[in-house]
């Protein structure tokens, strides 16, 4: 029998015989009655082939957003944008767990100790609450944009499209650098966490750095599905730990500890609720922003979900509960149980798990086993944030490459939908974590944090501004809000609140950086060093923006000229709304009440 191949999956078709039923798989629009024999390749070969480049895939669809902000080949773009080039394998449960527990990491569990020492328990409560309100508005604005324009890769695409292409370039690299730096930072934190058990330093940190880095890289090589499943697992553990700590904290505060002593609000009166006055309060804002960093990953993952119209709004609403329950409530209890003058907090840094106020509060209660359990949770949360770091930075680098704002090789996407070269670059930066044994890891981490410390603030402010500009263009071009598949609950007012508040944080941080607490006792060189450690991210961002602006002479995007058609997700809104109303009518009362807030 004469066999010949008919597709790239190893199947063969006979010319001289036919099957009992027609085969429509030839994609010619006509039935084929030819006999088909399926030949499956061996897994080593299929795995090798999966790493080959797919020339038809790009992160940002061709023709959607060019390097100068203009839309090229609109007819082609309207077709290719209907399907995201990345693998859509994230399910609703993945997105919801990413929203609830995705960014809970050392910012909450460890760096909050440094914030407690700097500003006191009242400062933590005020700053985290204000950042939480701002972020609630920001994530809703992002949700509205992501459902309508699910651009895979980076939020910089919205800045390019609705603000200024040069600002989109600066924000893209700002966001990429933020996550590139976070990876080695978190891996070093994970290796130092081991010191809680290996207090004599018997084992080199490099051993643990290798294990953690290898685990994170392998997870990301499984593609977006591997990332989603890992985050789902990690987030469940972190959520259970936070809920468990809240219950434990209430019990300890009410006198249910080993010594049976009632704690109440003692630490708010002695040593006090505030430390270092107003400047101490302002210094907590950046720590709070670092703790909340990664919340916007919900929007970044939206383009890789099967149905963002349904899953993303639910995930956005659940951000409110994470902010309220896991951050505000748990940190309120930490402020009640740990005084800000505890000497163990003074040595605290974002990479020193021994200084976690969560662990200190459990140790103060005289409980022996739970501090180790809490450190295991911190270790898992560090791995989780490291996993998110590769996901966020690789997608952003690939999107920048597709828009002509980064080397083209970074846009390499293999047959499984993985931005392989970008993942490789992000993983390579992680090798900086081997400085954990150099003795200078503290200096390395300080400057790495300086390069990315304000990145989140700039990213959130840009998202809010892009939403404000989009809404204005939407109105000027004759559209109504009823045409939007998902509307931001706080609306444009919320975006203005978010944008103005982010600008105020940048101003306040400049003041704290230039004249830090105790600046009178510092030399000029020490003050300059302190300023750049606090504010280095902003000069880098301005340099990227001004350089790109003058080199390419990019225009500011005017609302009346913005293209609101290309790349839009085409949805039959009346039909979808009718289906949703019918589905909701069948829900029991408890589910209707739950869905109002979740």
Whether residue 62 is predicted with pLDDT greater than 60 in this model: the reply is: no
Return the pLDDT at 4. 46
What CA–CA distance (Å, rounded) separates 45 from 549?
47
First to last CA, the chain: 61
Confidence of residue 39 (pLDDT cuts 50, 70, 90): low
Strand, coil or helix: 22: strand
Q: Which residue has the higher pLDDT, 55 or 228?
A: 228
- For range 71-85, the mean pLDDT: 37
Percentage of the chain surpassing pLDDT 90? 19
Return the pLDDT at 57. 60
- For range 455-465, the mean pLDDT: 92
pLDDT tens per residue, range 339-376: 998 887 754 444 555 578 898 899 888 888 888 998 89
* Cis status, amide bond into 271, omega within 30 of 0: yes
Confidence of residue 27 (pLDDT cuts 50, 70, 90): very low
Is the Cβ–Cβ distance between 188 and 209 less than 8 Å?
A: yes
Angle at 118 between CA 113 and CA 124, to 5 degrees: 65
- At 90, give phi and psi (nearest 5°): -80, 130
Whether residue 559 is predicted with pLDDT greater than 90 in this model: the reply is: no
pLDDT tens per residue, range 143-195: 888 878 876 556 788 888 899 889 989 998 998 988 898 888 888 777 777 87
Indicate the range of 130-139, 358-367, 500-509, 559-568 predicted with least confidence: 559-568
Burial level of 283, CB count in 10 A (0-12/13-18/19+)? buried
Q: Which residue has the higher pLDDT, 438 or 430?
A: 430
Indicate the range of 76-85, 129-138, 200-209, 373-382 predicted with least confidence: 76-85
pTM here is 0.82
Strand, coil or helix: 274: coil
Return the pLDDT at 501. 94
The two structure tokens encoding residue 275? 């430390």
Confidence of residue 106 (pLDDT cuts 50, 70, 90): confident
Percentage of the chain surpassing pLDDT 70? 76
Query: Interhelix angle for 165-193 vs 420-429, to 10°?
Result: 50
């Amino acid at each position: 029998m004469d066999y010949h191949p008919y597709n790239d999956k190893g199947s063969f078709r006979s010319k001289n015989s036919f099957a009992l039923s027609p085969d429509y798989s030839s994609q010619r629009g006509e039935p084929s009655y030819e006999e088909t024999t399926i030949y499956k390749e061996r897994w080593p070969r299929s795995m090798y082939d999966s790493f080959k480049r797919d020339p038809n895939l790009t992160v940002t669809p061709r023709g959607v957003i060019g390097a100068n902000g203009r839309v090229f080949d609109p007819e082609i773009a309207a077709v290719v944008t209907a399907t995201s080039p990345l693998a859509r394998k994230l399910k609703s449960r993945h997105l919801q767990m990413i929203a609830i527990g995705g960014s809970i990491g050392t910012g909450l569990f460890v760096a909050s100790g440094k914030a407690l020492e700097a500003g006191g328990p009242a400062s933590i409560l005020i700053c985290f609450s204000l950042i939480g309100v701002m972020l609630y508005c920001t994530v809703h604005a992002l949700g509205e944009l992501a459902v309508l324009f699910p651009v895979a890769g980076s939020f910089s695409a919205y800045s390019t499209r609705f603000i200024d292409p040069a600002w989109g370039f600066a924000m893209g690299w700002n966001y990429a650098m933020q996550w590139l730096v976070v990876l080695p930072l978190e891996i070093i934190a994970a290796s130092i966490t081991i010191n809680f058990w290996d207090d004599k330093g018997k084992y080199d940190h490099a051993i643990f750095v290798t294990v953690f880095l290898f685990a994170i890289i392998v997870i990301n090589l499984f593609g977006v599905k591997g990332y989603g499943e890992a985050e789902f697992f990690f987030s469940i553990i972190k959520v259970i730990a936070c809920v468990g700590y809240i219950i434990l904290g209430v019990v300890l505060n009410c006198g249910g500890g080993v010594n049976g002593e009632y704690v109440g609000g003692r630490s708010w009166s002695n040593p006090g609720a505030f430390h270092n006055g107003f400047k101490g309060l302002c210094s907590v804002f950046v720590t709070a922003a670092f703790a909340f960093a990664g919340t916007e990953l919900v929007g970044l993952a939206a383009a890789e979900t099967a149905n963002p119209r349904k899953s993303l709004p639910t995930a956005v609403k659940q951000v409110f509960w994470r902010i309220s329950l896991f951050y505000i409530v748990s940190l309120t209890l930490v402020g009640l149980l740990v005084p800000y003058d505890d000497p163990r907090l003074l040595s605290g840094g974002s990479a020193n798990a021994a200084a976690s106020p969560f662990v200190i509060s459990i140790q103060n209660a005289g409980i022996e086993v739970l501090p180790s359990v809490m450190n295991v949770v911190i270790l898992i949360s560090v791995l989780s944030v490291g996993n998110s770091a590769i996901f966020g930075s690789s997608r952003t680098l690939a999107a920048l490459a597709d828009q002509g704002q980064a080397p083209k090789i970074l846009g390499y996407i293999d047959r499984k939908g993985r931005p392989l070269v970008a993942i490789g670059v992000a993983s390579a930066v992680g090798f900086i974590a081997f400085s954990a044994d150099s003795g200078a890891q503290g200096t390395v981490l300080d400057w790495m944090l300086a390069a990315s410390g304000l990145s989140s603030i700039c990213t959130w402010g840009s998202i809010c501004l892009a939403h404000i500009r989009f809404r204005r263009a939407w109105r000027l071009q004759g559209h109504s809000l009823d045409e939007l598949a998902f509307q931001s609950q706080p609306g444009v007012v919320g975006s203005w609140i978010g944008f103005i508040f982010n600008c105020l944080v940048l101003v306040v941080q400049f003041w704290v950086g230039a004249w830090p607490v105790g600046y009178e006792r510092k030399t000029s060189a020490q003050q300059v060093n302190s300023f750049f450690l606090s504010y280095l991210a902003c000069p880098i961002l301005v340099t990227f923006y001004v350089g790109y602006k003058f080199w390419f002479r990019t225009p500011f995007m005017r609302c009346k000229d913005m293209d609101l058609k290309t790349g839009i997700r085409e949805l039959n809104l009346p039909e979808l709304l009718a289906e949703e109303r019918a589905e909701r009518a069948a829900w029991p009362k408890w589910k209707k009440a739950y869905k109002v807030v979740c």
